[in-house]
Amino acid sequence: MVEAEVIMKKKNEEERGGKRRWGWAAIGAVLMVLVAISITSKYTKNPNSCQCAQDSRKYTGIVEDCCCDYETVDSINGAVLHPLLQELVTTPFFRYFKTKTLPQVKLWCDCPFWPDDGMCKLRDCSVCECPETEFPELFKKPSQYALPSDDLKCQEGKPEAAVDRTLDSKAFRGWMEVDNPWTNDDETDNSEMTYVNLLLNPERYTGYTGPSARRIWDAVYSENCPQYASGESCQEKKVLYKLISGLHSSISIHIASDYLLDEAKSLWGKNLDLMYDRVLRYPDRVRNLYFTYLFVLRAVTKAKNYLEQAEYETGNHDEDLKAQSLIRQLLYNPKLQAACPLPFDEAKLWQGQSGPELKQQIQKQFRNISALMDCVGCEKCRLWGKLQVLGLGTALKILFSVDGHSQSNQPLQLQRNEVIALVNLLNRLSESIKFVQEVSPSIEKKMDGLLSEPIAEEFSSWRRIWEAVGGFWLKKLQL
């Protein structure tokens, strides 16, 4: 009897122990599942996780609102456009830009918005002007080849419905001084104009920063091309915003690619952190750079008949022939024509009843942006700001002010300075695209590394917790 009681007691204890183990096992399993859910949700659903950030930084497929993809832009830019443009901008015709280079004290006369407080810190802010003897003699005189207006080929009689994307090549014989409805520049004001050699004044870090620079960008964005909220704004306003943002990205990339790393030692070089902070970490800014590049490229190729027949005379026969030849190679490049025949389709814009009114409104906003460039408080920044905004204004003029439907029915006429600005702008954008393509994988890898270090640390902490929890429950189960 006693023996039977002892056996029963033992059996009951074993059953209780078994139940206890099962209880501990169940609690352990639930806790482990909770820990696992917490870890997986942290690294798969969190929008700030490394995986998501990596995906959003890949640039593939068609560039938004354009007709060409990122991969094609990279390859055609690297293989064809960049080398051609680099050579073209060194020719005498393209390297001298006519601009007002007013001393700081006179700046307020030109800036229609506010007197500048001159924030520029470095010697590198100032522009190196050309001596009178250096720039081409032919540039000093008004063109003797200008056509009387009745000699311009009329574009009437084209079918109203179809968009004519060709430009009248016969209209061009010489450089005309005509107003650009998109810009605020007046090239006829010769007394204060001077020529600068762009090769001697590279766009790079100048030390222009702080409230003065910020005020210009703020005025450009907030008053003249407010950020569109997707779906709310019309396509045309979106285009203006993207052009300015793309230009801003390009300026920041040039600052970062030629930066004063150590002022005391006069050491210049690449500042990749700055490039990441200002451009690469914002995928939209990179996309807008590609958009602006394709937009300007479309303008250049649309004006091909005109540009082919233009005169690139500076008095230096060999160099002028070279400029002409390089322009032809650019305009009729078979690789470019095959890979990206229509970089941007301007025919989709200004449709509908409000088209003409909208165009006037955006034209006014762009003229304001152009006028704002006179308020940039650093000469070299102002030079490149004015040149590139004039380049954009020229692209806008080519794409939107001259076609079969223009009110005036006037064929395209460009000022010499507009052509110089257009080509130099395309070259700047091309350099930026190349730079982004070359350095962004390594910067992104570095940044991903920095991002993943804390994540790796977190993972190992989680692993330690996991092991501790697992070990504890195993011990309990072995009890």
Ligand X SMILES: Cc1cc2nc3c(=O)[nH]c(=O)nc-3n(C[C@H](O)[C@H](O)[C@H](O)COP(=O)(O)OP(=O)(O)OC[C@H]3O[C@@H](n4cnc5c(N)ncnc54)[C@H](O)[C@@H]3O)c2cc1C
Residues that bind ligand X (CB under 6 A): 203, 205-206, 208-209, 213-214, 216-217, 245, 248-249, 251-252, 255, 278, 285, 373, 376, 380-381, 384-385
Nearer to ligand X, 66 or 213 (CB): 213
- The first and second tokens of residue 225, run together, are 């091309």
Nearer to ligand X, 124 or 319 (CB): 124
Residue 268 C-beta: closest distance to ligand X, Å: 12
Q: Which residue is nearest to ligand X (CB)?
A: 385
Nearest C-alpha neighbor of 396 from the set 272, 242, 278, 200? 242
Nearer to ligand X, 81 or 392 (CB): 392
CB 430 within 8 A of CB 81: yes
Nearer to ligand X, 97 or 306 (CB): 97
Residue 254 C-beta: closest distance to ligand X, Å: 6
Q: CB under 8 Å, gap of 24 or more: what pairs does 314-320 form?
A: 314/92, 314/93, 314/96, 314/136, 314/138, 314/139, 315/136, 315/137, 315/138, 316/92, 316/136, 319/91, 319/92, 319/93, 320/91, 320/92, 320/93
Residue 211 C-beta: closest distance to ligand X, Å: 9
Residue keyed to tokens 């989709």: 348
Residue 252 C-beta: closest distance to ligand X, Å: 5
Residue 223 C-beta: closest distance to ligand X, Å: 13
User: How many Cα atoms are found within 13 Å in the side-chain-facing hemisphere of 328?
Assistant: 9
101: left (phi over 0), alpha (psi -120 to 50) or beta: beta
CA pair distance 152, 413, nearest whole angstrom: 10
Nearer to ligand X, 92 or 377 (CB): 377
Nearest C-alpha neighbor of 203 from the set 242, 271, 256? 256
Nearer to ligand X, 238 or 302 (CB): 238
Nearer to ligand X, 85 or 220 (CB): 220
Nearer to ligand X, 119 or 339 (CB): 119
* Contact residues for 305 (Cβ-Cβ < 8 A; gap 6+): 166, 167, 168, 169
CA 378 to chain centre: 21
Nearer to ligand X, 25 or 274 (CB): 274
Q: Which helix (H) or strand (E) holds 107?
A: helix 107-110
DSSP string, 150-208: GGSPP-TTS-SSS------STT-SS------TT----TT--TTEEEEEGGGS-------
Residue 401 C-beta: closest distance to ligand X, Å: 23
Nearest C-alpha neighbor of 232 from the set 241, 243, 223, 219? 241
Residue 410 C-beta: closest distance to ligand X, Å: 30
Residue 378 C-beta: closest distance to ligand X, Å: 7
Q: For residue 469, what are the CA distances in angstroms to 18, 26, 28?
A: 21, 13, 8
- The first and second tokens of residue 289, run together, are 């750079």
Nearest C-alpha neighbor of 94 from the set 443, 460, 425, 456? 425
Residue 74 C-beta: closest distance to ligand X, Å: 19
Nearer to ligand X, 242 or 302 (CB): 242
Residue 284 C-beta: closest distance to ligand X, Å: 7
